[in-house]
C-alpha cells in the first residue's frame, strides 16, 4: 500500500518535471517579463508531493512495513522509534530520496526568491535543475527504489547497523546533503547564466546566498560526521582522511574557493568564467563523491564489480553532466581582460583560490589514486593520513600567513605600510609558541611552524576586528570565519602534539599506574537494554597532577539484530581536555584490553568548526536583510 503511494508519487513527479521543462520552454517564447503562475504552481505541487513521498517512506519505517525493501533491509520492529525514523535516510535508497527532495525544494525556492532577476535566466535555471531532478528520479525508480516490494512479506527486518544508531549520525546525512545537493542550484544557475549571457554582477548576487547556505550546512555536516567518528568508532581520532570523509571535503574546498571569488565578481565584475567553473565543479564533485561512496569502488575495485549497476548509472549521469556543462562552457567562453594589482584584495582572493584548488587536487588525487594503481598496475596501495599530512601541512603554514594578511589589503591597490605591525604580531606568535614548548613539551619543526602561523592568524584577525569596529563598516562574518579557522588549526596542532595514550590489559579489581595516572578497574556489570545487552565496566581514574578523580564506564554491546559486537567509548569532556577510555574483551581470558587516552582541547576543535559554520549563516542573514 505505502509502496504504491511512494511509487506513484515518484512517477508523477517525473511527469511534473517534464511538464515544467515543457512550459518553461513555452515561456521563453513570450515577451512579458514575469513567469507564468502555472509554473510556480507546478513547482509547488512538485515540492509538496516529494515531501509527502518522503513521509510515506518514514511511515513505512515507523509501522515497520517489511513489504517495503528499504524497511526490510534497514529496520527492525524492536528498534527505538528515533532510529526507525533516522533509518529512512541512513541507507542508499532512502538517502537518494532525500537527495531528490533537496533538489526539488531548492528549485522551487530559487524560483520564488529571485523575482528581481531576468526571466530568461530564471527559466533556464529551472530547466537545468529539473533535468537534474529527472536524472535522479530515474535512478531511484529504475535502480535504487526504496519502495521496491518484497513478496512474500518478511516477518522481521534485518535491522540497522548498530554503529549507525546514533544521534550525530542521524543528523549527519541531512546536513551534509543540504550542502552537497544545495550546490546543484548554482550549477543550474551557472548553466543558465552561460546560456543567457547574464551579467556577472547579477549572477553573483543571485547565487551568493545559496553558496553561503550550502557551505554552512556542508561545514556543520562534516563536523557531525567527525564528532560521530570520534566517540562512536572508539579510536579517539576525529579525522582519518578516509575516502568517504574526503568525498565530503572535496566540494567544501570548491565552495570555499567560490565564496571568496564571488566577492570579486560582485564587487569588481571580474573572474566571471572562473566563478562559473567553480559552480560547475562544486556540484560535479558532489556527484563524484556520491559515486565514490555509493558504488563501493573505494574499498575495493572488486566490490564494485559485484554490483556495478549503481556505480555505472551514476558514472553515466556524471559523464553526461560534465560533457554537457563543459560544452556549454566552451561555446560561451570569451577571454576577459583582467586588471589586477599585485597588492590588491583581488589578488589575495586569487591566492585563496590557488590554495583551495591545491588542497582539492591533492585530496582528490590521494582518494582516487589507489583505484588507479589497482586498475592499471594491479598494485594495491594505501593513501592515508601520513600522505596528506606530509603534502598538505607545509602548504597550510604558508596559507595561514596569506590568510592573515590578505583581508587587510584594500580593493584595487594598496601600499605596504603595515609591515611593522605585521612583524610585531609575528614576533608575538613566535613568543607564545616558545612559551608553549618551553613550559610543556617540545615538538617537531613543522608543528612549531603550524602553531606560530595559526597564532599569527588569530592575533592578526583579532587586531583587524578591533580596527574595523572603530570604522563601523565591517564584515563580522569574515572575521569570525578567519579567526575560528586559526583557532581550529591551533587546537588541532595542540591536540596532535599533546595527546597521550596508554594501552594495557587489566582484570576486575586490578590497578594500573603510569605517569601521573592511576586507573582502577572497579567492577563489571551485565545490563539488558531494549535492543542490546551491554557489558559495562567501571573505571576509577585518579590524576595525581590535578588531584582529580573521575569515573568512566566503557561498554561492550551485544546487538541481536543484526547480531554485532560494538565497543562504546566512555568520554569525559572538559574545557581543557577529554579523557577517553575503551575496553575490549580478550578471547579465553579474564583480562580486558583497556585503551586510555588524554585528548586536549577536543571541545575547542568542535567549537571552532561550529563558529566557522555560524559565520556563514550570519552572513546569509545579514545579506538577506540588505536585499529587502
Partner 1 sequence: MRVKTLILSFVIIMNISNVFANDINKNEIFKNIRCLICQGQSVADSNSDFAQTIKLVVNDLIDDGKSENEIYNFLIEKYGEWIVYKPPFNSFTSILWIFPYLAFIIGGVLIFLLINKRENR
Residues that bind partner 1 (CB under 8 A): 233-237, 240, 242, 299, 338-342, 347, 350-351, 354, 357-358, 361-362, 365-366, 369, 373, 377, 379-387, 390-391, 395, 423-424, 426-427, 430-431, 433-434, 437-438, 442-445, 448, 501, 567, 584, 593
Cβ proximity to partner 1, 428 vs 574, nearer residue: 428
Cβ proximity to partner 1, 4 vs 442, nearer residue: 442
Nearest distance in Å: CB 375, partner 1: 12
Torsion of CA 232, 69, 288, 331, to 10 degrees: -150
Cβ proximity to partner 1, 15 vs 395, nearer residue: 395
Cβ proximity to partner 1, 22 vs 338, nearer residue: 338
Nearest distance in Å: CB 96, partner 1: 23
C-alpha span between 541 and 581 (Å, rounded): 10
Nearest distance in Å: CB 101, partner 1: 30
- The cell for 217 is 550546512
- The cell for 366 is 590521494
Cβ proximity to partner 1, 460 vs 615, nearer residue: 460
- 245, containing H or E segment: helix 243-268
Cβ proximity to partner 1, 30 vs 441, nearer residue: 441
Instruction: Say whether 542 sits in a helix, a strand or coil.
Output: strand
Cβ proximity to partner 1, 188 vs 270, nearer residue: 270
- 388, containing H or E segment: helix 385-405
Nearest distance in Å: CB 116, partner 1: 33
Which phi and psi angles does 63 have, rounded to 5°?
A: -90, 10
Nearest distance in Å: CB 473, partner 1: 27
Cα dihedral 202, 205, 211, 213 sign: negative
C-alpha span between 41 and 20 (Å, rounded): 10
Nearest distance in Å: CB 384, partner 1: 3
Nearest distance in Å: CB 358, partner 1: 5
Cβ proximity to partner 1, 68 vs 360, nearer residue: 360
- 10, containing H or E segment: helix 2-29
Instruction: Say whether 379 sits in a helix, a strand or coil.
Output: coil
Cβ proximity to partner 1, 314 vs 569, nearer residue: 569
* Gyration radius from the chain CA atoms: 27
Contacts of 466 (CB under 8 A, 6+ apart): none
- The cell for 612 is 566557522
C-alpha span between 412 and 404 (Å, rounded): 18
Which 8-state DSSP code applies to residue 526? E
Contacts of 105 (CB under 8 A, 6+ apart): 47, 50, 51
C-alpha span between 525 and 84 (Å, rounded): 28
Nearest distance in Å: CB 341, partner 1: 7
152 cis-preceded (ω within 30 degrees of 0):
yes
Nearest distance in Å: CB 356, partner 1: 10
Amino acid at each position: 500500500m505505502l509502496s504504491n503511494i511512494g511509487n506513484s508519487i515518484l512517477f508523477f513527479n517525473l511527469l511534473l518535471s517534464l511538464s515544467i521543462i515543457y512550459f518553461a520552454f513555452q515561456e521563453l517564447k513570450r515577451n512579458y517579463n514575469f513567469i507564468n503562475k502555472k509554473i510556480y504552481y507546478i513547482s509547488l505541487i512538485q515540492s509538496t508531493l516529494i515531501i509527502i513521498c518522503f513521509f510515506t517512506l518514514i511511515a513505512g519505517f515507523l509501522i515497520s512495513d517489511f513489504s517495503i525493501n528499504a524497511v526490510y533491509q534497514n529496520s527492525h520492529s524492536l528498534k527505538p522509534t528515533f532510529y526507525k525514523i533516522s533509518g529512512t535516510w541512513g541507507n542508499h535508497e532512502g538517502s537518494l530520496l532525500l537527495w531528490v527532495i533537496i533538489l526539488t525544494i531548492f528549485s522551487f525556492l530559487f524560483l520564488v526568491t529571485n523575482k528581481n532577476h531576468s526571466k530568461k535566466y530564471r527559466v533556464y535555471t529551472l530547466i537545468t535543475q529539473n533535468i537534474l531532478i529527472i536524472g535522479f528520479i530515474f535512478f531511484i525508480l529504475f535502480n535504487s527504489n526504496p519502495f521496491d516490494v518484497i513478496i512474500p512479506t518478511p516477518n522481521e527486518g534485518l535491522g540497522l547497523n548498530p554503529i549507525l544508531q546514533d544521534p550525530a549520525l542521524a543528523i549527519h546525512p541531512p546536513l551534509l546533503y543540504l550542502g552537497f545537493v544545495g550546490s546543484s542550484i548554482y550549477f543550474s544557475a551557472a548553466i543558465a547564466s552561460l546560456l543567457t549571457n547574464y551579467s556577472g554582477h547579477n549572477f553573483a548576487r543571485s547565487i551568493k546566498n545559496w553558496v553561503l547556505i550550502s557551505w554552512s550546512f556542508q561545514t556543520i555536516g562534516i563536523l557531525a560526521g567527525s564528532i560521530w567518528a570520534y566517540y562512536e568508532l572508539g579510536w579517539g581520532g576525529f579525522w582519518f582522511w578516509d575516502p568517504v570523509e574526503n568525498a565530503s571535503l572535496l566540494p567544501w574546498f570548491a565552495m570555499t574557493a567560490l565564496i571568496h571569488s564571488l566577492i570579486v565578481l560582485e564587487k569588481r565584475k571580474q573572474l566571471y568564467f572562473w566563478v562559473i567553473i567553480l559552480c560547475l565543479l562544486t556540484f560535479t564533485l558532489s556527484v563524484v563523491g556520491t559515486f565514490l561512496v555509493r558504488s563501493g569502488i573505494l574499498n575495493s575495485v572488486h566490490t564494485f564489480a559485484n554490483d556495478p549497476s549503481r556505480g555505472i548509472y551514476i558514472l553515466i549521469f556524471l559523464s553526461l553532466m560534465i560533457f554537457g556543462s563543459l560544452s556549454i562552457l566552451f561555446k560561451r567562453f570569451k577571454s576577459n581582460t583582467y586588471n589586477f594589482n599585485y597588492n590588491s584584495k583581488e589578488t589575495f582572493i586569487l591566492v585563496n583560490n590557488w590554495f583551495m584548488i591545491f588542497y582539492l587536487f591533492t585530496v582528490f588525487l590521494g582518494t582516487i589514486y589507489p583505484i588507479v594503481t589497482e586498475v592499471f598496475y594491479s598494485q594495491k596501495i594505501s593513501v592515508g593520513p601520513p600522505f596528506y599530512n606530509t603534502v598538505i601541512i607545509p602548504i597550510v603554514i604558508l596559507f595561514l600567513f596569506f590568510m592573515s594578511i590578505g583581508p587587510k589589503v584594500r580593493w584595487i591597490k594598496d601600499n605596504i605600510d603595515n609591515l611593522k605591525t605585521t612583524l610585531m604580531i609575528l614576533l608575538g606568535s613566535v613568543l607564545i609558541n616558545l612559551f608553549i614548548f618551553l613550559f610543556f613539551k617540545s615538538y617537531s619543526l613543522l608543528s612549531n611552524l603550524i602553531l606560530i602561523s595559526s597564532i599569527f592568524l588569530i592575533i592578526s584577525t583579532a587586531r583587524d576586528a578591533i580596527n574595523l569596529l572603530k570604522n563601523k563598516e565591517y564584515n563580522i562574518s569574515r572575521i569570525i570565519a578567519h579567526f575560528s579557522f586559526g583557532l581550529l588549526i591551533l587546537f588541532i596542532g595542540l591536540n596532535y602534539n599533546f595527546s597521550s595514550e596508554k594501552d594495557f590489559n587489566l582484570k576486575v579489581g586490578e590497578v594500573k599506574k603510569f605517569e601521573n595516572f592511576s586507573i582502577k578497574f572497579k567492577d563489571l556489570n551485565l545490563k539488558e537494554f531494549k535492543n542490546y545487552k551491554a557489558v559495562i565496566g567501571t573505571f576509577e581514574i585518579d590524576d595525581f597532577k590535578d588531584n582529580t578523580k573521575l569515573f568512566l564506564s566503557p561498554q561492550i554491546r551485544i546487538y541481536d539484530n543484526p547480531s554485532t559486537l560494538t565497543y562504546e567509548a566512555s568520554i569525559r569532556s572538559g574545557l581543557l581536555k577529554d579523557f577517553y577510555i575503551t575496553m575490549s574483551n580478550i578471547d579465553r581470558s579474564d583480562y580486558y584490553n583497556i585503551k586510555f587516552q588524554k585528548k586536549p582541547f577536543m571541545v575547542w576543535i568542535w567549537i571552532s568548526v561550529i563558529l566557522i559554520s555560524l559565520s556563514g549563516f550570519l552572513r546569509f542573514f545579514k545579506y538577506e536583510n540588505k536585499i529587502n
